[in-house]
Amino acid sequence: MIIDPNGIGPAGRDTSLAAPLAQARAYARASRAPATRLAYRRDWAAFTAWCHDRDQGALPADPRLVALFLAHEAARGLRPSSIGRLLAAIAFAHRQAGCVPPQAQPQAGVLAEVIAGIRRQAGTAPRRKQAADDRVLQAMLAALPATNLKAIRDRALLAFGMAGAFRRSELAGLRCDQLDRTPEGMTVRFGATKTDPEGRGVCIAIPEGRRIRPVALLEAWLEAAGITDGAVFRDVVRGQASAGPISDRTVARVVQRAAQAAGYDPARFGGHSLRAGFLTSGARAGASLFRLKDVSRHRSTDVLAAYVREAGLFTDHAGETFL
C-alpha cells in the first residue's frame, strides 16, 4: 500500500477513500490546538532550513543529526522547554509523513544523552516571570490613567487578565460571545483549551471587585472602542480600535509597559505575570487549591501548590518566635 503523504491512509487515485481520508486528516489536525500547530510549523521550518544549509535531509532525519541541531539551538540560548518543543515538532512532522520519529529510531541513544546534558547544564529550576499580584497591579493601573483609548484598553487587559488568571493566548483570543454579564460580575465560557482539549467547555467567574474592579474596566474599554461582537481586545491604530484581535505578544508588551510606568523592571514581567498574579494573590488570601483551580483551570494541582507554598513562606515560620 502506498501511504498518503500526511501519514493517513492510502495514496493514489482511489476516489472511494477521498471523503474518509479528508475526515481523518481533519481529525488529525484537531488533535493539536491551533497555537500548538502554528508553533510546530515554525519549529519544523527552522529545522528544515538548518538541514538545508548543511546539505542534510530533514525527512526522515537521523537522530544524530537532530542531536546536533538541538545542541546548536541550546548553544544559541534556547531554554530546555523550547528544546523539548522543537523535538516534539520534529517528531510530529515525521508521524504526519508516515516516518519513524528520530527518538524512536535505533540510534536514538545519543539524542537522549544530548537532551539530558542540555537540561542538566541549564539547570532544572523553572524561571518564572514576576507575578503581577494585586499590589503590583494596582500600582500599574495607577500609572496608566485613562487618558486615551490605548490606555483604556491596557487598563482593561491588565485587570481582566489578572482577574481571570488568563493565559496570554486566551486573553488575546477572547471574544465577546464568551462573556455574560451577571449581577455579581461577569462569566467567561471556554470551549477547547490547553487543559480541556476535548472541548467539553468550562465557565469561570470574574467578580465585580472593590479595588481593581476588572469588570468595570472591561466595560469601559468595550464602550469606548464601540465593540459589541468579535474580538474583545484589539490593536488601537490612530485612536481607533482595529477589527482583528491583538497577538499574545501584545499582551506581554502591555504588561511590560505598565510595569515600567509603575517603576518596576519590565524585564522581570511578561504575559504570564497576570496569571501568576492571580494565583499568588489568591494563595496569600488563603484560597484553597481547588478554588484557585476553578479559575486557573490547571489540570494538576502541583503547579498551584507551588504558589501556595511561596505565598506562605513567612506564615507561621518555624523561627518566628526566636529569630
Residue 220 shares a structural domain with residue 71? no
Q: Please indicate, yes or no, whether residues 170 and 304 belong to a single structural domain of this protein.
A: yes
Cell numbers that stand for 302 in this block: 502541583
Same domain, 168 and 44: no
Of the three residues 94, 122, 150, the one that is the final residue of a domain is 122
- End of a domain among 81, 96, 122? 122
Same domain? 293 vs 153: yes
Name the 3-class secondary structure at 299. Answer: coil
Residue 189 maps to a domain: yes
pLDDT per residue as tens digits for the range 12-69: 555 566 666 666 666 555 555 666 777 888 889 989 999 998 888 888 889 898 989 8
What CATH number does the domain containing 272 carry? 1.10.443.10
The verdict on 39 and 89 lying in the same domain is yes
Which three-class secondary structure state does DSSP give residue 229? Answer: coil
Q: Mean pLDDT, consecutive 10-residue segments, the chain of 323 residues?
A: 46 59 61 70 90 88 89 82 86 88 85 86 64 91 92 95 91 92 91 57 87 94 94 92 88 93 91 89 83 81 71 64 63
Indicate whether 88 and 153 sit together in one domain.
Answer: no
Pair 70, 164 in one domain? no
Q: What is the pTM of this model?
A: 0.61
Q: Are residues 182 and 96 in the same domain?
A: no
Contacts of 183 (CB under 8 A, 6+ apart): none
Domain boundary among 67, 98, 122: 122
Question: Count of domains in the chain?
Answer: 2
Query: Does residue 86 sit within a domain?
Result: yes
The residue segments making up the domain with residue 96 are: 32-122
Domain with 116 in it: what CATH number?
A: 1.10.150.130
Is residue 223 in some structural domain?
yes
Report how far residue 215's alpha carbon sits from residue 221's, in angstroms, rounded to the nearest whole number: 10
What are the C-alpha distances in Å from 161 to residues 57, 127, 212, 301?
44, 21, 11, 21
> In terms of domains, do 202 and 265 share one?
yes
118, 263: one domain: no
- Ramachandran angles phi, psi of 276, nearest 5°: -65, -35
